[in-house]
Every structure is written in C-alpha cells, then in structure tokens.
Chain A
Amino acid sequence: MISSFLADPAFLEDIIRILFVFVLITAAFTLSTRNIASLLTVYAVQSLLLVLIAEFLYLIEGNKTLLAIAVLTLVSKVMLIPLFINLIGEKIKISRDLKFNYLEPTASLLVSMGLILLAYVFLSGFFNEYVLGKLFFMGAVIGLSLTLMGMLVIFSRRKVITKAIGYLTMENGVLLFGIFVADLPFIIEILIVIDLMILVLLTTILAIGLDSTIEEYHQHLQTLKIWSGRDN
C-alpha cells in the first residue's frame, strides 16, 4: 500500500511541496522564538525536513548523491550540531534570547514574506530560459528564501548562539537550493559540512569566552595595566 504510494511521482511531489511549507514554518519560528532549547529543536526539525526532501527526491530521481546528502545531513545537522550547541548552551547558562535588534518578530515575519516574493521574482527572471521543472523551481525559491530568512535571523537576534542558528539556517537554505538546482558533486557537500563544524566550533568557543572567565581575566588585566609595555 505505502510502497505503491512511494512509487508514484505525483504523490511524492505533493509531499515535497507540503514539506516546503513546513520548512518555511520552521524558519518563521527561528525568527520569533525566544527560548533557545526550542530554537535548537526547530533547527533539528528543519534539518530533518531537508533529509526527508532529499529522500523523496531520491525516490523520484534515483540520484544516489541525494541519498548520501540525506545521510550526511541526518548525522551532522539533525544529531551532532544540535547536540553540540545544546551542550554549549548548558555550559554558558543562556536559556533565552529575549531582545531583538532592528526588527521585532512581527516585523521580521512581514519582511520575510517580502523576501520570499523577492526570491520568486528574482529567480523567475533568471530561470525562464531554463527548463527547470516546476517542483525544482519551487525548491530553488524556498531555498533562497530560507537563506535570506537565516540572514534576517543573524541581523535581528542578539545572542551569539541564536546568530549561529541563523547562520545554520542560511546554510540549510543553500543546501536546499543546491539540491534542486544542480547535481553538485558529493565532495562539495562534505567540504561544506567540515566548514560548518569548524564554524560552529569556533563561534561557540567565542561564545563561551564572552560569558564568564574572560571578564575576570580582563579585570585582572585592568589592575595590572600600569606595568604593561615597559621593559625593566
């Protein structure tokens, strides 16, 4: 029963379209949620949606790279990265990111609607000379929109850890865009994941630095300043 559904491309395409909607919902959550634990869950769910999309697309297209991307995304973005950020979050004891820069959630939701329309208009201007299937065009639009919404998160949220989630969202957007626009060589995806890991690692180290020990260290430095720079 299920297998007959899974063999039907029209059904799969519909499912993917529904998943697109879910992806946008997660992006909207990222823009507005204040609680960091839920933000992380939302990110994990969003990555899982990408896994499912790649999975269903594989069923339609049969391109093995998609399967590899799905596995890689599952391991890195659904499991490892959220786990890692969660550990860091516990360590620096930040559980909420309350304040917003420039844009309050409602305003940023309105802006992101604008961004989605912009992405659509922009891409339809460029892809009209290409034979890109309807579903694939939609995927590209959603991917670009997700990237832009991630950027909005970086701009409008204050805490480094939330900004990092914004960056990760952007990265998800690029991945989605890549899945639908081109058959990228698999090696590139691996490189991106490595890059991502390093970035996450670095920003979290810096985020810890911002928290406690450094302040004490810095005060220590202030008191000793009279000695600085002189050779005796």
Chain B
Amino acid sequence: MIILNYLAVGAVAFALILLSKSHRAMNVFFILHTLAFLAIGFYALLTITAPGFETGSEYFYVDHLSLYEVLIAALLFFLASVYANGYVESLMQAQELHRNNLKIFYMVFSLLLTTVTLAFFSDNLALFWIFAELTTVFSAALVAILSARENIDAAIKYIFIASGAMLFSFIGLIFLYTLSGEVLGSGTLNWTLLLENAALLSPKMLTASFVFLFIGFAAKSGIFPFHTWLPDAHSKAPSAVSAILSGVLLNIGVYGILRMYSIVRQTQAEDMISQFLLGFGLLTVAVAVLNMLLQKNLKMLIAFSSVEHMGILLLGIGIGTPLALFWTLFYILAHSLTKAALFFSAGILHRQYESNLIQDVKDVFSLQPIAGWGFVIGSFAIVGMPPFPIFSAKFFILLEAFGFSKSLVFAVLLLLVIASAAFARFLIEAFTRSSKEAGTEGLETPPLPYVVRSGMKFPIISIIFMILVLGVFFPESLKNLLNEIVYELGYL
C-alpha cells in the first residue's frame, strides 16, 4: 500500500503543479507534496513490523533502510521546497531563471522526489537502476534550468559521466543475473533473493559483478575517479537544487553500494571488496581535500566537501563491522542535513554578492547575519567538530577502522585536518573582510543588503537546531531504527 500511496500523492502533486498558475500555488503544492511524503514515511515507519514486498509483486520492498533513506530524502525536499519559494522568486527577479521555466522547475522537482522515493523502495536491482538513471536525468534538468551556458555544460557533463558509468553497472547486473541463474536455476535480480542465497554465489563472479556495479554507483555518488562531474553540477545548480543533489542524490549511489556490499559480505569475496572500497574511499577523500585546500569558490568548496564525505562513507561501508555500519548510517543523515544548511546559506550569500568567489565576499555578518552564521556553524559541523553529529559518526567509524588498519586511520585523520584547514582558511579570508578597508581602488561603497525573502531563513535555522540536538542527544527511536537496519542487512 505504501508504494501506491506514494505514487498517488506524487501523481496528484504533479498534476496540481501542472495546473497551477502562480508561483505561490506551485510552491504550496510542492511543499504539500513533500509533507505528504514525510507523513507516509513516518506512518509506514510506525506501522511496519517486518520488511515486506509491496504491490503484490517482488519489484518493491519496504524495509527500515529504504524507509530511513526515504525519510531523509523527504525531509530535505521539504526544507528545499520551503527555501525555494523566496529563492526562486529572487532568481526570477535577477532574470537568471526565466519565468517560462518556472513551472518546469517545480514539475521536475516534484518528479525527482517521486523517482528518488521509488528508487529507494526498488527491490529489483534493474528497477533500481532505471530509477537511478531517471534521477540523473531529472536532476540534470534542474541543473540546466538556469539556462546559462555554464549550467548546460555542467548538466551535460553530469549526464554523460553518470549515465555512461551506469551502463557499466548494467553489465554488472547482467553478470549478477547469470550468476544467480547458475545457482538458483532461473536468474534473478531481486535483492532479497540474492541476499538469501548470497552464500551460494561464486565469489569470483560476484567480485566482477560488484566492480562493474560499483562503477555506476560510484559515479552517482561522486567517488573518485568518477567525481569530476560533481563539483561543476553542484556549484552551478540553483542552491535549493544543490542541497538536494548533495543531500539526497549522492545517497542513492551509496545506497546501491551498501545493498550490494551486504550481499558480498556473506561470501568469501568480502575481504577483497572491503579492501577495494577502503582504497577508493581513501583516494576519494585525498583528492577532495586537496581540491578544497586552495578553493576560491564557495559552492565548489562545499561540493568538494561532499566528495570527501562520500569517501568517508565508503570507508565506513568497507570496514564492514556492524558498529561501523551503524555509524555510517547515522553519518548519512548528519551529512545530508549539514550539507543542506551550507548550500542554503551559500544560496543567500550568492544572492547578496552575485558571485561565489572568495574575493567578492565582504561584510558578511552585517549584511547577511543568518546566512553568515549558518555557514560558519555549518562549516564547524561539516568538518566534524563536537558537539555536532558528524563528530561522533566520524569518531566511531575511525575507531572501528583502528582494528582494521592503523595507518589507514592516520592517513584519514591527516586528510581530515587538511579539510578543516580548507574550511578555516576560507572562513578567515572571506568572512573577516570588510568593505571599510580601502582596496586598491580606494574606498568602495558598501553593497546594499539583499533582503532575504520569507522562508529562506527557516530551513537554515531549523537544520542548525536539528544538528545541534542530534549532536548532544541520540534519540532512542533513531537508535532502534539504525539497529533494525543493521540487523536486516544481515550484519548481526
């Protein structure tokens, strides 16, 4: 029933947006869409006793992991939809978004939410593949919607790298299908069935299949060396979209890797795949922090930080212990929220200075106190300072990694220091500059403050509130939920 509810709500919301005339109406319908998705998700979470198939077929499957991911996605879409009201209005006033494209923007946004949700609920891996591809298409459209040349370039790069890599994933699926056919008589791509019979699968073929699948999922989640599209797309997209790209769409790739790893974990291929993931995770973190260090573009900095965090998530999955998985799952939530706060703040700053470049940022705290503080607090949270939730997640993942390899932990710690330095450098350089200090051209007139429209501050403030609470207080219900997931993935 859950899937049918989601589909019905998604279709109604899409139709209402299609029929509405004013921006206000479109926005309200989209907000209602996200709220309905949140409500269905919470209802399902409260009523679900055991994971089960949906719609009478084996194509969709609802378990705690998919519900968890769907709830994170719906929450972020809700925040983005509230933010979008004022933000999109500003974009239109600045003539960066054409009024004719407004409806397309909301329609595609709404479709994206529905496809993301369906992707997380897909039990059949081929179906998951299709929905993941569709999310690429829709999100690329949202990147391109500003129709500036650089946006279109970024969107095209995104499509070609992500979809091209996903074709390799499809080869991996074919491998998996053949492999399961050898064991089960007839081939299957149903995750539940594969997990059940994982021990029977040939480790060698499973490794090959995993490597191919990994190429596509890694590209979706911006893992090195397939990350090259990410900084462009995430930094050029409108900030409401950037938050979704970083906070939700990257999770799809990680989700795919996690599901596959839980199958591999039951076989002898585990050791090799685990090393493989740790290697790519470490490389990803390294490449990301080196790009962050001297970054001059605010949104690029946040985008590369996403690459870094995906690397850490990969490490968390690769370590493969139940505790590491528990904290990796928590990390996903913490990262999604924090990253959204950063992008929302960056969006306001971009409206203010019409630039993301470090040298254009001046008088932040007097002009945009909320966005300024949002960015500062967000930066502290994202580099993993206590009391923010990423701290505890990182801490326990690294603690688990310690039993695996000491040198790995040291390497990661060193890289994390560089990442913090990158954020510190950016903050010090950009946020302390005042227009009163005469530049080379003499005294400049201080810029007028951009009037932040209604609804744009709420998401930033509420996220900061949420991460502060999550940092100091770990709700029992969340703990139970994460434990359920760890159990259902066969870790315990």
Chain A interface residues (CB < 8 Å from chain B): 126, 129-130, 144, 147, 150-151, 154, 160, 163, 167, 170-171, 173-174, 177-178, 181-184, 188, 191-192, 194-195, 198-199, 202-203, 206-207, 209-210, 214-215, 217-218, 220-221, 224-225, 227-231
Contact A225 B160, beta carbon cutoff 8 Å:
no
Contact A184 B174, beta carbon cutoff 8 Å:
yes
Contacting residues, chain B, for A224 (C-beta < 8 A): 95
Contact A182 B130, beta carbon cutoff 8 Å:
no
Does B148 belong to the interface (CB within 8 Å)? Answer: yes
Does B204 belong to the interface (CB within 8 Å)? Answer: yes
Contact B137 A198, beta carbon cutoff 8 Å:
yes
Known: A126-B208, A151-B164. A215 touches B149 (CB 8 A): yes
In whole Å, how far is A225's beta carbon from the nearest beta carbon of chain B? 7
Instruction: Name 7 interchain pairs, CB-CB below 8 A, sorted by A.
Output: A130-B205, A191-B127, A199-B159, A206-B159, A209-B152, A229-B450, A231-B453
Which residues 49-83 of B sit at the A interface, judged by CB distance below 8 A? none
Determine which of A170, A195, A202, A209 lies in contact with B164 in the assembled complex, contact meaning CB atoms within 8 Å: A170
Does B448 belong to the interface (CB within 8 Å)? Answer: yes
Chain B interface residues (CB < 8 Å from chain A): 90, 93-96, 98, 126-127, 130, 133-134, 137, 140-141, 144, 147-149, 152-153, 155-156, 159-160, 163-164, 167-168, 170-171, 174-175, 177-178, 181-182, 187, 202, 204-205, 208, 351-352, 354, 448, 450-451, 453
Contact A229 B160, beta carbon cutoff 8 Å:
no
Contacting residues, chain B, for A195 (C-beta < 8 A): 130, 133-134
Contact B187 A198, beta carbon cutoff 8 Å:
no
Supplied contacts A181-B174, A206-B156, 10 more A-B pairs, CB within 8 Å: A129-B202, A130-B178, A178-B170, A191-B130, A202-B141, A210-B152, A214-B148, A215-B149, A229-B90, A229-B93
Contacting residues, chain A, for B144 (C-beta < 8 A): 206, 209
Contacting residues, chain B, for A203 (C-beta < 8 A): 156, 159
Closest B residue to A224 using CB positions: B95
Closest B residue to A221 using CB positions: B95
Closest B residue to A210 using CB positions: B152
Closest B residue to A179 using CB positions: B174
In whole Å, how far is A228's beta carbon from the nearest beta carbon of chain B? 3
Closest A residue to B127 using CB positions: A191
In whole Å, how far is B407's beta carbon from the nearest beta carbon of chain A? 30
Q: Is the interface of A mostly helix, strand, loop or mixed?
A: helix
Q: Give CA–CA (A198, B108) in the complex, Å.
A: 13
In whole Å, how far is B9's beta carbon from the nearest beta carbon of chain A? 23
Contacting residues, chain A, for B177 (C-beta < 8 A): 182, 184
In whole Å, how far is A69's beta carbon from the nearest beta carbon of chain B? 13
Contacting residues, chain B, for A230 (C-beta < 8 A): 448, 450-451
Q: Give CA–CA (A171, B167) in the complex, Å.
A: 7
Contact B137 A228, beta carbon cutoff 8 Å:
no
Q: Give CA–CA (A195, B138) in the complex, Å.
A: 12
Q: Give CA–CA (A38, B167) in the complex, Å.
A: 25
In whole Å, how far is B304's beta carbon from the nearest beta carbon of chain A? 23
Determine which of B137, B181, B205 lies in contact with A202 in the assembled complex, contact meaning CB atoms within 8 Å: B137
Contacting residues, chain B, for A225 (C-beta < 8 A): 94, 354
In whole Å, how far is B158's beta carbon from the nearest beta carbon of chain A? 10
Q: Give CA–CA (A177, B171) in the complex, Å.
A: 7
Contact B181 A182, beta carbon cutoff 8 Å:
yes
Known: A177-B174, A191-B130. A167 touches B94 (CB 8 A): no
Closest A residue to B166 using CB positions: A195
Q: Give CA–CA (A229, B451) in the complex, Å.
A: 8
Contacting residues, chain B, for A174 (C-beta < 8 A): 167, 170-171, 174
In whole Å, how far is A99's beta carbon from the nearest beta carbon of chain B? 16
Closest A residue to B168 using CB positions: A147
Closest A residue to B352 using CB positions: A229
Known: A214-B147, A224-B95. A167 touches B171 (CB 8 A): no
Contact B159 A202, beta carbon cutoff 8 Å:
yes
Closest B residue to A209 using CB positions: B152
Contact B152 A206, beta carbon cutoff 8 Å:
yes
In whole Å, how far is B121's beta carbon from the nearest beta carbon of chain A? 16
In whole Å, how far is A47's beta carbon from the nearest beta carbon of chain B? 16
Chain A CB count within 10 A is highest, among B148, B153, B171, for B171
Contacting residues, chain B, for A220 (C-beta < 8 A): 95
Contact A129 B204, beta carbon cutoff 8 Å:
yes
Known: A126-B204, A209-B152, A220-B95. A228 touches B134 (CB 8 A): no
Closest B residue to A178 using CB positions: B174
Contact A217 B174, beta carbon cutoff 8 Å:
no
Contacting residues, chain B, for A214 (C-beta < 8 A): 147-149, 152
Q: Give CA–CA (A154, B219) in the complex, Å.
A: 15
What are the 6 tightest A-B residue pairs by CB atom distance, in nearest-first order?
Answer: A228-B94, A231-B451, A182-B178, A229-B351, A182-B177, A191-B130
Contact A167 B174, beta carbon cutoff 8 Å:
no
In whole Å, how far is B185's beta carbon from the nearest beta carbon of chain A? 12
Contact A167 B149, beta carbon cutoff 8 Å:
no
Closest A residue to B182 using CB positions: A130
Closest A residue to B180 using CB positions: A182
Contacting residues, chain A, for B175 (C-beta < 8 A): 126, 181
Contact A218 B181, beta carbon cutoff 8 Å:
no
Q: Give CA–CA (A102, B185) in the complex, Å.
A: 46
Q: Give CA–CA (A192, B202) in the complex, Å.
A: 27
Known: A206-B155, A229-B351. A167 touches B147 (CB 8 A): no
In whole Å, how far is B289's beta carbon from the nearest beta carbon of chain A? 26
Q: Give CA–CA (A131, B156) in the complex, Å.
A: 41
Q: Give CA–CA (A82, B205) in the complex, Å.
A: 36
In whole Å, how far is A220's beta carbon from the nearest beta carbon of chain B? 7
Q: Give CA–CA (A167, B164) in the complex, Å.
A: 6
Chain A CB count within 10 A is highest, among B152, B159, B170, B202, for B170
Contacting residues, chain A, for B174 (C-beta < 8 A): 174, 177-178, 181-182, 184
Contacting residues, chain A, for B354 (C-beta < 8 A): 225, 228-229
Known: A195-B130, A202-B159. A126 touches B171 (CB 8 A): no
Q: Give CA–CA (A141, B163) in the complex, Å.
A: 21
Q: Give CA–CA (A177, B90) in the complex, Å.
A: 49
